[in-house]
Amino acid sequence: MIHETAQIHPSAVIEEGVKIGANVTVGPFTYIAKDVEIGDGNEIMSHVVIKGPTKIGNDNRIFPYAIIGEECQDKKYNGEPTRLEIGDRNVIRESVQIHRGTVQDKGVTIVGNDNLLCVNAHIAHDVVVGNHTHIGNNSILGGHVTVGDHAGVMALSAIHPFCTVGAYSYVGGCSAVVQDVPPYVLAQGNHATPFGLNLVGLQRNGFEKPELHALRRAYKEIYRSGKTLAEVKPVLEEMAKDWPSVGLFLDMLNNTTRGIIR
């Protein structure tokens, strides 16, 4: 079903069964396969490929040569009907690739809202990208990676499968991340190591000085106190009573499977 207000270029190929919402534009030579649902107000430019099962929300902009919802590169994938879900107001730049999930995980790749995926970024199977993230040019999110809200992964960086990049963290360009990056942390290098808090990003997102001081104290407990992580956790638990944002550090320490960058 294609809404009457949608504008489809005559050279675009839309398979039977595709759902396209109101005020959507589809550019020349774009191909949209069956089992794709596209919400309202999306701008899909020329030479885009969208395969399914894929669901795309509202008001996204998808630039030329992006490949959305293709089957993954995992050798275990055997044609199962896994999915891709994309939220609202994302900007997906040229040649971005976003692959569907695998049945070995949750069966779905998820991209949230208000994200910027820059040129040639690769979003592998079963990845979860939160909201308001910045995924830089030629960056790679390996399978099963999670990127938290307001995080940044800069150009030419690679995130190892099953790693988590915490909320409000920042991975500098050309970095190789092989363990989890805690929330709020600035990381850089091959292999990536911590360089303090992502203060610029935190300030831009409205964190005030008292809360920044609390997060700095939490960072020092983890990285500079000489304590084991088991010894650090009770301290962070007490701090989180006054500063709930410190709780994101605790969540990372309690749930990490690969360990955190050191």
Choosing from 74, 126, 149, 180, the catalytic residue is: 126
In this structure, are residues 100 and 69 in contact, taking their beta carbons and an 8 Å threshold? yes
Residues 6+ positions from 203 with CB-CB distance below 8 Å: 212
Choosing from 99, 122, 125, 132, the catalytic residue is: 125
Tell me, yes or no, if 126 is annotated catalytic: yes
Residue 11 burial class via C-beta count within 10 angstroms: exposed 0-12, middle 13-18, buried 19 and up: exposed
Angle formed at CA 124 by CA 183 and CA 257, multiple of 5 degrees? 45
- What 3-state DSSP class applies to 202? helix
- The identity of residue 38, as a single letter, is I
Choosing from 21, 41, 142, 143, the catalytic residue is: 143
- Separation between Cα atoms, residue 142 and residue 224, nearest integer Å: 30
Tell me, yes or no, if 242 is annotated catalytic: no
Cβ neighbours of 237 (radius 10 Å): 12
Tell me, yes or no, if 125 is annotated catalytic: yes
C-alpha radius of gyration, the chain, whole number: 20
Q: Which residues are catalytic?
A: 125-126, 143
